[in-house]
Amino acid sequence: MKRILKYILLTISLLMLWAVIIFFGTQNGWWHQAIAEQGESEEYINAVKEKISQQYVGNFALALVKNGNVEDEIFHSEGKPVDRNTVFQVASLSKWISAFGVMKLVEEGKLDLDVPVSKYLTRWQLPASEFNNDGVTVRRLLSHTAGLTDGLGYSGFEPGVTIQPIEESLTQASDADEGISGAVKVGVEPGAEFKYSGGGFTLLQLLVEEVSGQSFASFMKESIFEPLNMTHSSYIWEDSSSFKLAEFYNSDGTKATHYSYTSLAATSLYTSLNDMEAFFQVFLMGNENEPIGRNVLKPETIKVMREPHASTMGMDIWGLGTILYAANENGDFIIGHDGKSTPPINTAVRLNPQTGNGIIILETGNPLLATKLASEWVFWKTGKVDLTLFTMLKNNMVSTIWKGWFAIIIITLIIGITRYRKMKAKM
């Protein structure tokens, strides 16, 4: 009996050790091959061009930033040419810029990060739940820890279809992605865990309108875009606009529909590579006349936005509207946001505030290319596996753990049975 117990404990120990090794190995990129050899940006650029040639891409705009300066740009288009002033719809990347606007109101004293949002709302309120709705604050909405369980995900409205009013959308979004409830309500104890919520940012959109007295799009234009000289950015696309809009494509190369949204803050930003390069500069140290925040937000507010507010599997993953992709050298983070929607829009930004290095990608027609290339840039540049690359590697990690466990159990059984038979033969 003692011998059997010994083998059971040994097996459990080996199983745990194997899982830990594979988890940390995946997290640290032990088996991941970089997209290009370490060296000049030309190596990475060539690898990007190779990836574009291997798979369908509709429109593509990329900027590499080094020491705060744009080092290189790449453009690709299947139809009308795109350039640094071509406007892309950027899906959930919108949330990062929207959070910047929310923090402007916090600085002005019109919003408090930790006051229940219900105190500011008159046009709509969260429905009653088994949890205390007073736990839903601006801080928790920005960090996806407010306990909202909408799971949104917006599909948008086709041309000619009336866009749903924001109050109705919060009650039940008629353009919720398939399989998503679409009702913005508290279903988990606020502050208890990270739970991604597009509806939380639609609620923030309403909050901005309530306290500013302006439409969300007007507030963002006057308070953020104009001061930062983001001249090609807006949350609403007007048919009369003189800006050049990147064409929308499906994954099979056919032209796709241009959808409109109620959920402006969550998913409807239109912006250009040039404007995103300007927004990138907000997070970097300028000269004495142009500090971090570019006189729109204070440097201390910028820093708060990338302090950890949510974690998963022991990893800090979210600040205030800002994704924390990987730790950098001084205990800070490589930050940014991604965007993904259907028909395929995929956008991504990675920014290292310490070095001023980063990447911006705006893309249509491929559902994950921007995210993959941005995460590969982090690994190529730093040797670190960022949050989204880890997610991509997770399935292979789990599969490797299971295969290892199976092998450990079989080998342990074989050794145990062999020794048992030898012992019986001696008796």
pLDDT in tens, 309-363: 999 888 899 999 999 999 988 889 999 999 999 999 999 999 999 999 999 999 9
Q: Tally DSSP H helices, then E strands, for the chain.
A: 12, 10
- Tell me the average pLDDT of the chain: 93
**What is the C-alpha separation between 398 and 404, in angstroms, rounded?**
10
Average pLDDT for residues 143-157, to the nearest whole number? 96
**What is the C-alpha separation between 400 and 404, in angstroms, rounded?**
6
Q: Do residues 202 and 169 touch, judged by C-beta distance below 8 A?
A: yes
Q: What's residue 286's pLDDT?
A: 59
The lowest-confidence range among 99-103, 385-389, 421-425 is 421-425
Q: What's residue 425's pLDDT?
A: 76
Q: What is the CATH number of domain 41-384?
A: 3.40.710.10
**pLDDT tier for residue 239 given thresholds of 50, 70 and 90:** low
288 has a pLDDT exceeding 70: no
Helix (H) or strand (E) holding 237: none
**pLDDT tier for residue 170 given thresholds of 50, 70 and 90:** very high
**pLDDT tier for residue 292 given thresholds of 50, 70 and 90:** confident
**Longest CA span, the chain:** 94
Q: What's residue 289's pLDDT?
A: 57
**pLDDT tier for residue 240 given thresholds of 50, 70 and 90:** low
Average pLDDT for residues 222-236, to the nearest whole number? 96
262 has a pLDDT exceeding 80: yes
Q: What's residue 287's pLDDT?
A: 53
**Residue 256, amino acid:** A
Q: Do residues 117 and 132 touch, judged by C-beta distance below 8 A?
A: no
Q: Do residues 374 and 350 touch, judged by C-beta distance below 8 A?
A: yes
pLDDT (tens digit per residue) in 19-28: 999 999 999 9
**Residue 340, amino acid:** K
**Residue 113, amino acid:** L
Average pLDDT for residues 50-78, to the nearest whole number? 96
Average pLDDT for residues 150-176, to the nearest whole number? 96
For residue 66, give Cα distances in angstroms to 48, 73, 277, 281. Answer: 17, 12, 12, 11
* pTM score: 0.93
Average pLDDT for residues 292-320, to the nearest whole number? 92
Helix (H) or strand (E) holding 36: none
In the chain, domain spans:
2-29+395-426, 41-384
* Residues in CB range of 366: below 8 A, 6 or more apart: 55, 56, 57, 58, 251, 344, 346
The percentage of residues in the chain with a pLDDT greater than 90, rounded to a whole number, is 85
Q: Whose CA is closest to 386, among 303, 426, 327, 346?
A: 327
